[in-house]
Amino acid sequence: MLYDNRDGFIKEVVPHELAHLITFQYFGKVRPHGKEWQYVMSEIMKKKPIVTHNFNIKRNDYVYICDCQEHYLSLIRHNKIRKNKTSYQCRKCGTILKLKNCI
């Protein structure tokens, strides 16, 4: 991500992760993107406390689908599903993800 999105990565991801370190150091173990982290992001880092990014990234991932959209899973997650060790569900519609080519 850094290689393909250098400026955005430094402006967004680095402060995001630094806020996690500051939050843990000051508040201890709290919710990852809870009110303490949001406070550090907005008041100390002077950044909007956004949890996700919108970088264009090159993907070699596996395409899974649910009832509402496509999902791109890494090789590691794909292998966990294939070995019946886990399943993943969509955060929006709640359905279990299925490999697109196998449906």
- Rounded to the nearest angstrom, the gap between the alpha carbon of residue 81 and the centroid of all alpha carbons in its chain is 19
Q: Which two tokens stand for residue 20?
A: 């996690």
Is 12 an active-site residue? no
Catalytic residue (choose from 17, 36, 43, 70): 17
Find, among 99, 91, 101, 102, the residue nearest to 68 by Cα. 91
Residues annotated catalytic, as ranges: 17
